[in-house]
Structures are given as structure tokens and as C-alpha cells.
Structure 1
């Protein structure tokens, strides 16, 4: 069969169009296959259960994925993701390569690194989720505490270390590490932080280390025995000055940020601490913090990260887990989660990728005067900082 020149040109363009569409069609087919496979699956989602707002939100997610995708989402409330990491490691050691007890895990930082380095995670799936295209890739969604993600976990919320104060008590908050030390001198006994190994307490150690060290580049790599003392010396010198000025002279530390909130509410403390910049709004909305409570941070930035969900390599219901992860990235789920009246967990979506109404909703939820986000140190710093802190101050 012979074609005229114009016909041949059109045919070539049509074939080119089909070749460009083929990967999209294949991806759509494969996602449809995943959704089909997910129907009727039970997904065991291990998630931190320490907050009533989080638990209510996840109950709503369970109802939505059941109704829309026929996935039976079961939430396993955990106190620490490290406990679930140990269970996954134990299953691997016993040769349980399939039918694992965990299908989805809320994770980041050192727990993610432990699982990824041991090849215990499913990889390469996260950026294949249809809702990935909404994600704000300017956030640290492709690395987790300096560890490359490589599609092994899907973002679902962002967080930033944030101080809370009360307007009546503290109209001018300290906005640097040195200002915090001066504030503690001027208001002795009203400043403290959660005892490491509480995650928020350790985060403050990392924040202060970033602010004070003379070797910030060292924090992007795992700590070295040779340089650890030199890199961290300014932090310990600072804490040695700060601790005698703290609540209970730094001889006792609140176990959790929630305890700090209580002490802020009753006037014992001038400052509380959270890893959620929307926490104050959320707690004020629920009447759990005084109405004049507000958030602030250091003007040069506060450390922040993204929290993720990940799928173990031996998951029983990996298709169902991907459907849940994809739903968690939907504008509907992300905007609901960001609402302080629901949870107040900041979104990982790029407002520019949303429609006009969704953009307005999201912008209204973002707290004003949020400081720049500083990247977390490499995840290996968490444990060594905690151990050194306990060695120096933990026996008081």
C-alpha cells in the first residue's frame, strides 16, 4: 500500500502519538490492576497512636478506603515505630519472606534507614502512585534524614520543630539559640525541653547543634568517632550553661511535649515545644491550649522533615497498601489532615498543582510567619546524640 507524502506524515505523527501515550496507558493499566488486586485485601497499618486527633483521622481514612476501594484498613496503634522495625527484622531472620504481619508503616529517619539498608522494604513504587503528581518536590520527599528514598516510601505529611508561647506571658519570643539562653537567664525555671530520647527533645538537640557547630557540613554524613567531639563541643558547652537555668534546674525533664503543654497552660513554663507547626492552632481550636497561644521559631530556620508510609518487602497486602498510600496523597485527604480542627498536620502537596478552591483552602491553613525549613542531620546522628546526652545529663 502506497501513501501520499501528507498521509505518510500524518501516519508518522499518529504513530509517534501512540508511542508517547503507550507508557501512560500501561501505567493506567498497571494501576487498575493494583486497584483490582487490592479489592477485599486487609491492610495492617502500623501508625503512631499517641494522639486522639491522629487516631480519629485514620478512622476516617479507613472508612473512605473501605467505601471507595473495598480495602479493609486496620490500624495498629504503636508507641514507637522502632518496635515495628524490630518485628519486621525478626520476621526476616526467621525466613518469613511473604505473608508479613505489617503491610504499611508510618516511618521516617533512622527507622527507615534501618529497614532500607537491610533490604526489607519494597522499592520503586512511591513515585508510580497516580497522586504523586500533586506532591511538592521542593520539600525533602526524595531523601529522608539524608538517606535517598528511591521510591521506597511515600510522603503523607510534613513537620517542623516549633516553639509555642503565650502572648500575655511572652510577647517577644527568643528567635535564636543565643536569645533562648538569654531568655532562660531572664526567666529562670520557665524553660525546658522533653527528655531525650523523646523525639521532640532529640530534635531540639539537633536544632541547637545546627545553630552552634562550626562544622555544619559534618552533619550531612554519619558521625565519625574522630570528629564527633569537635563537631558537638559547642552544643555541650551551650547546654552546660542552659541547664541550671531550666525548669527544676535541668535536673528533671518533662517526658513528653504534651506534659510541656500542660505546664505552659498552668503558667509554670513560658515555652512549649512541638514538631507540628499547626499544633498550637489545633490545640487552641479544641480548648486544650489557652487562646493566646502562638507558634514561633528561630528566624534563621527550624529543622523539619517529611513523614512517610512504607511497605515492607514481605507485606501480605502490598496492592492494598499502595491504594491506601495513594489515597493519603489525595487533595481530599491532605486538606482534611491539614485542618487544625481535624488534625493539623501540614500537607505535602504543591498548592500550584491544586484547583483554585483547594489552593485557597490550603493557603488559609498554613500558619503565618513560618520560619524556613532546615534539613535534618543524617539519621545516624540521632542515636549518638541521645547516648551522649544521657551520659552527660541523664543520671541527674
Structure 2
């Protein structure tokens, strides 16, 4: 019996050791070679889809990892899939290997122990990440603790047609007043689309009496704190595009409305999106970008690996490549994505730094100085409750 117990312990220990360890990177690369990684990521942007396809080409060329982009309309769908697998006892060979994730979805998976890791800080390219100057170790106030790795920085900007709107409104009050004078010329994506919810959070941060309260979980004072947002929406909604009876479903849909001359400005979470859209003939050459006078929200995009992923080693390789100077430079190119980098320019090799220094950000992209300091994201609980309340009050069909 003693020998049987010892054998069982050894078998269990062997199972634990079988998990890939990013600290032993060559072992990870050996295991990853030949794996297929199913990356569940938002699929609503052609430029992002093309970038993910390029990532797949590069990791297959370099490491023999095949990348399949599972296009999502809502990241919560991937979270629900992992939860369903756990409920069914499927603790290995899961359908999802990597998720583009942040905010409430990350918080929910972390709290439910649905994530593999910690892994991020052991990845080879972590040495280049700007951990002091950028918000890459917390996600909507929740410590990441190595359970997700960053691959892009984002900050809210507003895109507008400068020929139609020479002086755009740069505060919540100014947007409300401008919308009243120009009915039908503004809208935002329909929550729970992340940009639609982001717009609601951006307005709340400006309208709330003390924005620091949003750094804590929403509590019994939720109704009191959010009352100014609902008052503002009550004023502005009748003056939105189609009188608030319909909303674009995605960020790219907003840009199409600008290009079609139906609205005059749109929210974006990518400072370089306007320049990229001009290059792709999705916006007129007169498109420009601005930020609100009191600042705008900023955060990082992360990837995480489910606890039961089938190709953990391959997922680690993809996560690491996304933080590489090569991938970061391509993502920042305004003709590709125009995303801001997560890297510390002082930490990367000189040849790579020269590539960033030579990159032209484009006519519609604000410089870091023009963007100003990004405002912190609220705790995820505020977003969850605001989304539900907005759907009850303003959801299409209500």
C-alpha cells in the first residue's frame, strides 16, 4: 500500500511538472513546435484581424506554432466557454488556448481560478516592458500578478472630420450642448460593445464629484455616484444619431458613419486609428483626433491563457512574441494598427529603438505629449452594473 501511495504521488507530481515553465524557455519552444494555438480575440476590425494573421505567420516561421484566430464579438463568450468546460470537468484539452482580455472578464477568470500562470514576468521579452511608466501590472485596478501579459497600450481619443467640425467639443458638457445644437450628428457603439461601455465610463469619470471613488468596487452608493451620468444621458440621448433608437454595433461602424457623412465624430481606444483609417481609405483625409480637456481613459490590452488550455506552450510563445520589439513596432505603425507600445524604449536594443524613432505616426495621430496623462480605469464592478443599467434604460427596443 505504501508503494502504491508513493507511485500515485509520483504520478500526480509528474502531471504538475508537465505544465510548461516559461523560466525554461528552450523546453517551452520544444514543446510548442507543432502545436496549434486557438486565440480567441475580438474579430470586428479588419486591421486587427490582419495583424493577428501576420503574428500567426511569424510564430509559425520562427517556432512552428500554428495560430488560429477565433473571432469574437464579445470576450465574455470565451469566458463562458471556459466556465462551461470547468463545470463539465474538462480540466485539460480545452478549446481555448489564448484570450485577448482585460477588465471585468480578467477579474472574473482570475477570481474563479480559471487562468494558467503566473507566466508573464518569466517570458523572455518581459525584460523590455515598461513596468514603471505604463499600467501593465494592474488591469482595471485588479493586480495582474503575472496571469496575463500586455501587448498594446490604449487611450481614449475622439476622431472627427475637421472640415465639418473645425472646433470639436472637448468636455461632457460641451458634447451635450453641441449635440443639442446638432441633433443626429453624434453616437457611440451600443453597449456591451467595449467602446460603448468605455464612452459611458469616460463620461462618468468627468461627471462624478470625486472620480477616485471609482477605483473601489461599486457599493451601496452606486445609484448616488452614477446619477450624474444618467442625468446627462437623459439630456443627450434624444439628440443622438437616429434619436438614440439605434446605435452602431462596433467601433469600425462609427467610422463608416463619419465616412458616409452621417455623424461628425466617434470614440476610439487607439490614438493611431484615424491615421490608419485614412491610409485604408476608411476615413476622409480631413479626419483628425482630439482628447477631452480633463483627460481620457487609458489601459493596456492583455492576453491570458485558460487553466485547461490544450496548447499552453504554444500560447506562451505567442504571448512572448506579442511583446517583442518586432511585433510592437509593427503594431505601432499607423498603416498597420497605430497602437501605442508597451515597451520601454531605453530597455530595447539600439537597432530596434532606431525603428521606433524612425516611425512616422501620421497626420491624424496625437503625440504622447498631446495625449497627456491617461486616466485610470474604474474598478470592473462599475462597468458591469453600468452596462446592465444602460441596457435596461436605453437598450434598443426599450
Whether TM-score is above 0.5 comes out as yes
Residue 145, structure 1, aligned to residue 144, structure 2: no
Relative to 1, partners in 2 of residues 1:112 and 1:189: Cα closer, same or farther, differing over 3 Å?
A: same
For 1:113 and 1:362, the matched residues in 2 are separated by 35
Q: Give the superposition deviation at 1:266.
A: 2.4
Q: Give the superposition deviation at 1:69.
A: 1.1
Relative to 1, partners in 2 of residues 1:364 and 1:270: Cα closer, same or farther, differing over 3 Å?
A: closer
Question: Does the 8 Å CA contact 2:299/2:377 hold for their aligned counterparts?
Answer: yes
Of 248, 252, 260, the match for 2:246: 252
The corresponding residue for 1:393 is 394
Question: Does the 8 Å CA contact 2:338/2:361 hold for their aligned counterparts?
Answer: no
The corresponding residue for 1:289 is 283
**Deviation readout 1:29-74 (Å, 9 max, x if unpaired):** 7112222222222222112222121122112111111111122222
Of 113, 120, 123, the match for 1:119: 113
The corresponding residue for 2:3 is none
Residue 357, structure 1, aligned to residue 384, structure 2: no
SS of the counterpart of 2:81? Answer: helix
The corresponding residue for 1:329 is 323
Q: Give the superposition deviation at 1:267.
A: 2.1
The corresponding residue for 1:155 is 150
Relative to 1, partners in 2 of residues 1:107 and 1:29: Cα closer, same or farther, differing over 3 Å?
A: closer
Relative to 1, partners in 2 of residues 1:359 and 1:257: Cα closer, same or farther, differing over 3 Å?
A: closer
Question: Does the 8 Å CA contact 1:105/1:309 hold for their aligned counterparts?
Answer: yes
What are the ranges of 5 or more consecutive residues in structure 1 without an aligned counterpart?
Answer: 1-26
Between structure 1 and structure 2, the one with the greater Rg is 1
Relative to 1, partners in 2 of residues 1:28 and 1:84: Cα closer, same or farther, differing over 3 Å?
A: closer
SS of the counterpart of 1:294? Answer: strand
TM-score normalised by length of structure 2: 0.88
Question: Does the 8 Å CA contact 1:47/1:78 hold for their aligned counterparts?
Answer: yes
For 1:344 and 1:196, the matched residues in 2 are separated by 24
Q: Give the superposition deviation at 1:382.
A: 1.4
Of 46, 60, 79, the match for 1:85: 79
What are the ranges of 5 or more consecutive residues in structure 2 without an aligned counterpart?
Answer: 1-20
Equivalent pairs counted in the alignment come to 369
The corresponding residue for 2:377 is 376
For 1:313 and 1:363, the matched residues in 2 are separated by 40
Of 172, 176, 181, the match for 1:181: 176
SS of the counterpart of 1:85? Answer: helix
Question: Does the 8 Å CA contact 1:213/1:232 hold for their aligned counterparts?
Answer: yes
Question: Does the 8 Å CA contact 2:278/2:287 hold for their aligned counterparts?
Answer: yes
The corresponding residue for 2:13 is none
Question: Does the 8 Å CA contact 2:272/2:361 hold for their aligned counterparts?
Answer: no
The corresponding residue for 1:228 is 222
For 2:252 and 2:69, the matched residues in 1 are separated by 23
Q: Give the superposition deviation at 1:162.
A: 1.7
Query: Could you say what the CA RMSD is over the residues aligned between the two structures, in angstroms?
Result: 1.8
TM-score normalised by length of structure 1: 0.88
Relative to 1, partners in 2 of residues 1:235 and 1:299: Cα closer, same or farther, differing over 3 Å?
A: same
